[in-house]
Chains A and B, each alone.
Chain A
């Protein structure tokens, strides 16, 4: 237990200490001493910027991401269940998925401008929806024929089949899509704030950079990094819980 903790924390600790020591006497404008960054952190991220920048950014991310999750799973299930729909939608989906999501922001701005919540939430949702949708389609489509037959022969109704068979059976792939979407969502959360006059976590960091408040800018980068790590940790926690059966199944299959 202690050994494992040492192995896990050893290298990060060494790296941080190295950063601290190597940057201690740094006079470079771009690379301030780590001690300065640490000292700047509580001064920079006080209650006011947290309330007015960080939390709104996170709320927009949550709104956009959850919208994408619901819409992507719903549309993906419909498209995955119908062969006709699939062959009609696939070429368009292929194209829409391949558009790098940040270019949607100027397009959305034509309709809704750059600064409003709607534009940003739509940008996040539109960026996140494709990996979720496409993975759901794939998950629904590749559902085992025998499981479908079983559900039919035991006369499971539409909603029970959807809930207990289709969605559960596709959940490992839905999770894969949701994980990809999460990192795209974070990117778009930041990028959507970098146009025009905006507020938010991403906008704040760029403001520091433009004002040459370098240690503050670094605290922002660190905060964004921590945020990314926390979100991915949370995701894994949820995934761990809901897909325990899938891990077991995979292990059992590999053991044979």
Chain B
């Protein structure tokens, strides 16, 4: 029943040394993502979601525990991983066109020009931005810029895709479109997705599982299985009774987390 774990996080801990008191941001986080899963992480503000994601991405050194991607330990940014950052405006290279932004990591992988062009075109097609290939990122709206960042991640063909509150800074309409885009790409490409968000609705709507984090120092409060049908629809899914149940369950957990509730004190 259990396929290979795409991402395995065991006992992850991170304490910032700092100048004064050391700050314990993450304490003993354990979870695993099976191949092809879409898992969302929610937690109260200041739960260390970004710290967790930066550790998983290999951008931040951990102070304890293990992270492995496809069985190999993560010590730096691993090859099979792509990250979509929240700050879309700051993660795209403003001096490169959309096409060159998507292409740059592929050049570094050593792909031939023809392969690169094909992959870039396909990726831009899949996010509906073929026509903007020669524009610069700053000429596009926020939602379109985040699509470029997604296209860059898709073209990179990672086995695990990390998304750090990618839609926190776009308007509600665009956000719904982008959520559906992520679901669509995930189902088509079979990629494993770890999606960090502070939005409970978004987490329940997108995920197959939702990991609810405690407040700092962070541990997993509960692993909620989202038993909604695979075909999700902004209108139908969000008005389904089961959606409302799951949503209020997660909401309740977040409230508990905010009050400092922890699993060992349950």
Tell me if chains A and B make direct contact, with any CB pair below 8 A: yes
Q: Say whether A10 faces chain B, with CB atoms less than 8 Å apart.
A: no
**Contact across chains for A147 and B93 when beta carbons are under 8 A apart:** yes
Separation in Å of the A152 CB from the closest CB of chain B? Answer: 5
Contacts of B91 in A (CB 8 A): 146-147, 149-150
- Tell me the residues in window 123-178 of chain B with beta carbons closer than 8 Å to chain A beta carbons: 136, 138-139, 152, 156
User: In the complex, what residues of B have CB within 8 A of residue A168's CB?
Assistant: 93, 95
CB of A246 within 8 A of CB of B85, answer no
* In the assembled complex, A51 has its CB within 8 A of some CB on chain B: no
Knowing that A157-B108, A160-B107 are A-B contacts, what are 10 other residue pairs whose CB atoms are under 8 Å apart, sorted by A's residue number?
A: A147-B93, A149-B59, A149-B91, A150-B83, A154-B105, A155-B105, A165-B93, A171-B95, A245-B138, A246-B95
Residues of chain A from 216 to 256 with CB closer than 8 A to chain B in the complex: 245-246, 248-249, 252-253
Please report the total number of B residues contacting A with Cβ < 8 Å: 27
Are B138 and A153 interface neighbours, CB within 8 A?
no
What residues of A have a CB within 8 angstroms of the CB of B138 in the complex?
245, 248-249, 252-253
B4 CB → nearest A CB, Å? 22
A94 at interface (Cβ–Cβ under 8 A)?
no
Q: Find the residue from B87, B94, B95, B156 having the highest chain A CB count within 10 A.
A: B95
Cross-chain contact of A164 among B85, B90, B104 (Cβ < 8 A) = B104
Chain A interface residues (CB < 8 Å from chain B): 144, 146-147, 149-150, 152-157, 160, 164-165, 168-169, 171, 245-246, 248-249, 252-253
CB closest chain-B residue, reference A157: B108
What CA separation (Å) do A152 and B139 show in the bound complex? 25
Known: A146-B85, A147-B93, A245-B95. A156 touches B136 (CB 8 A): no
Residues of B within 8 A of A (CB): 54, 57-59, 76-77, 79, 81-83, 85, 87, 90-91, 93-96, 104-105, 107-108, 136, 138-139, 152, 156
B207 to chain A, nearest CB (A): 22
Q: How far is the CA of A106 from the CA of B238 in the complex (A)?
A: 79
In whole Å, how far is A108's beta carbon from the nearest beta carbon of chain B?
Answer: 38
Nearest A-chain residue to B54, judged by Cβ: A149
Give bound CA distance, A246 to B95, whole Å.
Answer: 7
Closest to A255 in B: B138
Residues on B with beta carbons closer than 8 Å to the beta carbon of A150? 83, 85, 91, 93
Q: Out of B90, B96, B104, which one reaches A156, CB within 8 Å?
A: B104
Residues of chain B lying within 8 A (CB to CB) of residue A245: 94-95, 136, 138
Are A154 and B95 CB-contacts (below 8 A) given A146-B87, A249-B138? no
Contact A154 B108 (CB under 8 A): yes
**Minimal beta-carbon separation of A171 from chain B (angstroms):** 8
* Other-chain contact of A154, B54, B76, B82, B94 (Cβ < 8 Å): B82
